[in-house]
Amino acid sequence: MSVARMLTGDRPTGRLHLGHYVGSIANRVRLHRRYESFFIIADLHMLTTRNRREDIDQVSGNAREMVTDILAAGVDPDRAIFYLQSAIGEVGELNTLLQNLVTVPRLERVPSLKDMARDAGKEEMPYGLLGYPVLQAADILCVKGEVVPVGRDNAAHVEVTREIARRFNHLYGPVFPVPELIPADTPSLVGTDGAAKMSKSRGNTIALSDDAATVRRKVLGMYTDPNRVRADVPGTVEGNPVFAYHEVFNPDRDEVADLARRYRAGRVGDVEVTERLI
């Protein structure tokens, strides 16, 4: 009996952080023994937003660190295949073919592409970035991936893959499986500044490789309730990053509920709430 294939991966842009963990890596750790698992180091995708010479020079080191982070998170290297996207020539060939099966207006409706362009400081959409979902389709279909664990940002990209696979099979016969999305339990994680999702470009991350002292410093400096000037002032739990992290990472649900209750009543300080997170 054949084992279904899973494909997932990341761009080698730096160390992975908790946002990556909750958005995709936790699912990979949970699922990779169940499937024949392929992990792509997406250096061609990186070029869509980071293509300076210094960015390219950092790919090798970033790729090694990225794989190390994933293995440290719990992926068994004997049960996963890691490969560099640009080393597989067939990915580029398939990308060229698949480009003809999707329209520009369809790609312009992918909401995350505009966010990626904005985060990269791009005033206009580069051609390569507009075609990002098509290259991602080539990645998935090249290995005939059947399941794709995704965070919220990539869900719309995989929908494009599903459409392209159906279109290809309609035109040329049943060649590719239509991959299924496996969504994360936590679609995204707010950054330590409370302003937006965790992102290296915003400097609001906690890296998987951070040591204990660095994690402690970052957690103690997290944004909380700006209207709460003293511990006896009732605070807001909703939208508070510290409580968002408690919901995701604190397994003691009774403690989380107790902290939230006392915080709303003005009977616990931000320091204690944050310390309990550490």
Question: Which among 145, 55, 44 has a CA at the least distance from the CA of 93?
Answer: 44
pLDDT at 15 over 70: yes
Question: Which among 276, 231, 278, 270 has a CA at the least distance from the CA of 256?
Answer: 276
User: Please, what is the average pLDDT of the chain?
Assistant: 92
Instruction: Give the distance, in angstroms, between the CA of residue 24 and the centroid of all CA atoms in the same chain.
Output: 5
Give the end-to-end CA distance of the chain in Å, rounded to a whole number.
45
pTM for the full predicted model? 0.87
- At 118 the three-state DSSP class reads helix
Q: How far apart are CA 208 and CA 231, in angstroms?
A: 31
How confident is the model over 160-208, as pLDDT tens digits? 999 999 999 999 999 999 999 998 877 788 899 888 888 887 889 999 9
Angle at 270 between CA 265 and CA 273, to 5 degrees: 85
pLDDT at 5 over 90: yes
Domains of the chain: 5-183 (3.40.50.620), 211-277 (1.10.240.10)
The residues with which 148 forms a beta bridge, in sequence order, are 181
Which 8-state DSSP code applies to residue 90? H
Which 8-state DSSP code applies to residue 207? B
Q: How far apart are CA 11 and CA 63, in angstroms?
A: 8
